[in-house]
Structure 1
Amino acid sequence: MTSKTPTEVTRKSYAYEWYVVTVCMLAYIFSFIDRQILALMIEPIKHDMQLSDTQFSLLHGLAFSLFYAFMGMPIALLADKFSRPKIIAIGVAFWSLATALCGVSKNFLQMFMARIGVGIGEAALSPATYSMLSDMFPREKLGRAVAIYSIGSFIGGGVAFLIGGYVIDLLKNLDSVAVPLLGEMRPWQVTFFLVGLPGVLVALLIALTIRDPARKGLKLDAAGKVHAPSMKQAFKFLAVHRKTFFCHYLGFSFYAMTLFCMLSWTPAFYMRKFGLAPSDTGYMLGIVVLLANTSGVFCGGWLIDWLAKKGYSDAPIRAGVIGAIGMAVPAIAFTQVSELWMSVALLAPAMFFASFPMPASTAAMQILPPNQMRAQISALFLLISNLIGLGLGTTLVALLTDRLFQNPAMVGSSISLLNAFAIAFTLLLLIKGCRHFRESLKHEGLT
């Protein structure tokens, strides 16, 4: 009986691979803390900068999503050719410093530019991570790996609410805080420094401990060198499977619209309708996001793997349909009830099912495209998803509140209207997408 080498044991246990997932998840936690902390501080920032809901939505949604989206493609092209851990590390350091710069913003324009910097840095993380994970794990483990990585977004979102609530509670009796070298600052400005700067340490951890995995399924050119498809070739691949990617990109983007709508505007809803203090809102929503959203991502990844083992080749898209059906009623109803406990009881399942597309949309993109196109195709999805889900979705809620209802207290009705619209389009597109995805897999010889 032959003994196994240490390398074989490591490969069987996937110990190093799960370490990479964990570190990348940690980076994702910090990314969501840095992008989400703004939502809890809506009232003091609006007051100090004299902003409307629409202007605040541009800071929270458009400023971040615009450059997050458009920088994703060129950064992903680099990730398909060069060291993915180095690209991720640079991105983490960049967005962490940009978050700290939000703390020294004096007006709308300065805050807008700092939020753009956050978006540019975060654009480096997910496409490169998705590409690495697809090279590290077999298809039957990919759903769980992506789900664990994706859990980081909601751990980060929950921690952002908890940290924000704690800092607001800690500094609620102070008009300003003396900061060395920077002078007197408002409590919300100090919060950006507290959540932003530690991310630089995460960047160092990635740069020093993660190596770029060997790329699987690479095509060689006539000279025997790795063939690196251009962005034009990636678009040709998308054109061949245009029906599949149309349903996937738009279906999951409208799904994301519901998720980002709730993450962005639920704090304002609870503060305005039920009179909760920002600190209480942060504690409550932090617990909901940590429990409901993280379990939703994990269950979504488990569901993909379970459906795949049952023989459903369209498992990622099918899991998205199941999640959207489960989300429909609670996501629309939680703002329309009169009791706080009932609203939170509806918000929890809404958040749980709203988290399903995190592993579902990602797994589909890593299964169908060739290896050297995965980061680019993922980046294009993130471009569309963030422009529609985060940029357009959060702004539409503000426009409905400012223009249609003309009353900040009616933000709950704006959330319900937008969610009803987004969920209807999600189901329509993803149900059609199941059939198109199966046909694309047959076309590529993957079934």
Structure 2
Amino acid sequence: MQRYYPWLLVVVLFCTSVVSYLDRNIISLFVGPIRNEIGLSDVQVSLLQGIAFALFYSVMGLPFGRLVDHRTRKNLIAAGVLLWSVMTICCGLSTTFWQLFFSRMGVGIGEACLGPAAFSMIADCFAPAQRGRAIASYNMSNYVGVGASLLFGGAIISMLTQHTDFGLPGISGMPTWRLAFLISGLPGILMAFAVLALKEPQRREVMHTTGGHRGKVGLWSYLSRRTRAFVSIYTVYTLTAMIGYIIVAWAPSFYIRHHHMRPANVGLLMGGMTIVSGVTGCLCGGYLTDLLASGGIRGGRFRLPLVWWPIAVASIIGMVCTSDPTLSLFFLGLLTFGSALSFSGAATVIQDVVPNQLRGQAAALNYIWTGIIGLSLGPTSVAMVTQYVLKDSSLLGNALVIVIVPLSVIGFFACYLGQDNYQKARDDLIAMLHTDTDTPATPETAPENKKSDARQQTIV
């Protein structure tokens, strides 16, 4: 049992993350009913999907990251799960824009601690040679969660179309979108108890003082000595997340407006496609990042995102320009696969260049950038282009291309120019863990790098 326990931990955290994405993204399929009942514009809807959730999801990330680095991580996750589940239920009970706005904020606060804590726990359970696959397996929850929210919403709509206003008999004609929020908030309560039943992993790869005590490492002082590497890392994954959030927020509306598909069909088709493409991309990404890290290739895991950006450009153009909805969904699947291929390794890339004392904070900082820039600005930027530049909501596809293509070009160059700086930051960390000092090392030769990586595996 002890041998398989690390993977059991991954499974529990994976299921918890799926629930978080279900609660986060269920709103995207009910844009129409929510707009009609409460009276919202596209910009207000984008604020509910973006900044309402992302504001506190981002702001609370760093304080939670510090707690993750010093407190019992499973307790933090359980508390967060309970909070976001209750606030999801509150979304279903909201009757005004501001009630929905603050309920979405509450969901963001609860979910802020899950990612940093989960990545830290998983990293402590696996050796570096297996860490990419383990974290990529957890990251499959991103796409399974998004797909599940679409499948769940599509199934609810499909089952209740025969009732007036999509109501459920016996619940006072409650609209379907409200019922969906109420139901999606319940599984998290069960998952909170499952997380509490986990064992807290022993912390590994900790920098110590000469006396053997746990050393204190300042996040900003550590990052400031490796600024170029971390600017490249955070830029690449922020832009990757930004594109992902744009697609989650607006792809359903694109197929409803442009291809005149029914919401129920959009949910079922996009949900299944997202799960298959996302899981496949994560599995491939996890295997390839471990292969790159162990192969002595300059840049290691951070080379994989270079493949993603050309995929993003080709697939978004194909998705929008084709008149065949089936072919358009194929390009959307390709876009999802490329996103998963790149983003599945984000946490591992970051953890490969920070000591244990900073894992939670470094991961939280990534969530801050992806939240403030990716989630807050991504969906809203498309709405702004549609509403104020193109001035036609039927041109949503054009807005997607106008926003996503330039982001992909910037992301490619940020990744390409950051390869050498990332490798130097990795070399520094390996050297510091063996000398227990926070002083950047000089670049090592290739044979010494391989030897250091072998020694690193023995202490995990």
The TM-score, its normalising length taken from structure 2, stands at 0.90
SS of residue matched to 1:297 = helix
Matched to 2:239, the amino acid is F
Which one of the candidate residues 362, 376, 382 is aligned to 2:347? Answer: 362
Match of residue 98 from structure 1: 87
Q: Quote how far apart the aligned CAs of 1:153 are.
A: 1.4
Look up the match of 2:144: 155
Q: Number of aligned pairs?
A: 431
Displacement of 1:356: 2.0
Cα separation, partners in 2 of 1:284 and 1:365, compared to 1, 3 Å: same
Distance 1:65 1:332 in 2: 28
Give the superposition deviation at 1:339. Answer: 1.4
2:97 aligned residue? 108
User: How far 1:315 sits from its partner (Å)?
Assistant: 2.3
Secondary structure at the aligned position of 2:60 is classed as: helix
Amino acid in the other structure paired with 1:214:
Q
CA distance in 1, matches of 2:352, 2:210: 26
Does residue 133 (structure 1) correspond to residue 122 (structure 2)? The answer is yes
CA distance, structure 2, for counterparts of residue 348 and residue 139 of structure 1: 30
Task: Identify unmatched segments of 5+ residues in structure 2.
Answer: 432-448, 450-460
Give 2:133's match in structure 1, choosing from 144, 152, 168: 144
Q: 2:192 aligns with which of 188, 199, 203?
A: 203
1:298-309 alignment, distance < 5 Å: 298-309=283-294
Equivalent residue for 1:315, pick from 294, 300, 312: 300
User: Does the 8 Å CA contact 1:304/1:315 hold for their aligned counterparts?
Assistant: yes
In the alignment, residue 206 of structure 2 is paired with which amino acid?
L
Contact persistence 1:397–1:415 (CA under 8 A): yes
Per-residue displacement from partner, 1:319-338 (whole Å, max 9, x unpaired)?
11122233320123211211
- Distance in 2, matches of 1:32 and 1:407, equals 30
Secondary structure of the residue that 2:261 maps to in structure 1? coil
Corresponding position of 2:331? 346
Contact 1:95–1:121 (CA under 8 A) maintained in structure 2: yes
* 1:181-260 correspondence runs (5 A): 184-208=173-197, 210-220=198-208, 225-229=213-217, 233-260=218-245
Residues 80, 228 of structure 1: 8 Å contact kept: no
CA distance in 1, matches of 2:430, 2:129: 17
Whether the 8 Å contact between 1:85 and 1:212 is mirrored in structure 2 is: yes
In the alignment, is residue 175 of structure 1 matched against residue 160 of structure 2? no
Q: Aligned letter for 2:147? A: G
Could you tell me which of 369, 380, 405 is aligned with 2:390? 405
* Cα shift at 1:221: 5.0
In the alignment, is the contact (CA less than 8 A) between 2:347 and 2:363 conserved in 1? yes
SS of 1:312 mapped into structure 2: coil
1:438 deviation in Å? Answer: 0.9
Q: Residues 209-261 of structure 1: CA distance to partner in whole angstroms, max 9, x if unpaired?
A: x11111113234577543354xxx10111101100000110121111111111
Q: Which runs of 5+ in 1 are unaligned?
A: 1-9
1:124, 1:86 → 2: CA distance? 10
Match of 2:309, SS state, is helix
CA distance in 2, matches of 1:410, 1:72: 35
Aligned to 1:3: none
**2-structure distance, mates of 1:374, 1:78:** 11
Partner Cα separation in structure 2 for residue 325 and residue 360 of structure 1? 18
Q: Would the alpha carbon gap of residues 18 and 95 (structure 1) be closer, same or farther in structure 2, given more than 3 Å must change?
A: same
* d(CA) in 1 for partners of 2:325, 2:174: 34
Counterpart-to-counterpart distance in 2, 1:250 and 1:321: 13
Over aligned residue pairs, what C-alpha RMSD do you find? 1.7
Distance 1:441 1:279 in 2: 47
Instruction: Name which of structure 1's ranges 65-74 and 330-339 shifts more when overlaid on structure 2.
Output: 330-339
Tell me the equivalent position of 1:335: 320
Local SS of the residue matching 1:270: helix
The residue aligned with 1:4 is none
Residue 68 (structure 1) shift = 0.6
**Match of residue 58 from structure 2:** 69
Report deviation, 1:269.
0.1
> Which residue identity is paired with 1:142?
R
Which of 25, 28, 34 is 1:36 aligned to?
25
Deviation at residue 313 of structure 1 after TM alignment: 4.8
Deviations 1:253-276 (A, max 9, x none): 111111111111100000001111
Mapped contact 2:298–2:420 kept (Cα < 8 A)? no
Q: How many angstroms apart in 2 are the aligned matches of 1:243 and 1:218?
A: 24
**Amino acid across the alignment from 1:59:** L
Contact map agreement 2:54 2:375 (CA 8 A) in 1 = yes
- Measured after TM superposition, the shift of residue 120 of structure 1 is 0.5
Equivalent residues of 2:164, 2:173 under 8 A apart: no
- TM-score (normalizing by structure 1): 0.93
Q: Does 1:391 align with 2:376?
A: yes
Partners in 2 of 1:434 and 1:220 — Cα distance?
29
Write the deviation string for residues 36-66 of structure 1: whole angstroms up to 9, x where unpaired. 1110111111111111111100000111111
- Decide whether aligned partners of structure 1 residues 104 and 335 sit closer, same or farther in structure 2, where only a CA change above 3 A counts: same
- Separation (CA, whole Å) in 1 of partners of 2:415 and 2:373: 16
Q: Secondary structure at the match of 1:356?
A: helix
Q: Is the 2:300–2:423 contact (alpha carbons within 8 Å) kept by the matching residues of 1?
A: no
Which amino acid in structure 1 is aligned with residue 204 of structure 2? K
TM superposition shift of 1:305 = 1.1
- Native 8 Å contact 1:256 1:389 kept in 2: yes
Whether contact under 8 Å (2:136, 2:285) holds in the other structure is yes
Instruction: Judge conservation of contact 1:177–1:186 (CA < 8 Å) in 2.
Output: yes
* Residues in 2 aligned to 1:248 and 1:219: alpha-carbon distance in whole angstroms: 22
Residue pairs, 1:2-81, within 5 angstroms:
14-81=3-70
> Which residue does the alignment assign to 1:6?
none
Offset of residue 309 of structure 1: 2.7
Question: What letter matches 2:306 in structure 1?
Answer: V
Cα deviation for residue 176 of structure 1 reads 6.2
Q: How does 1:376-387 map to 2 (within 5 A)?
A: 376-387=361-372
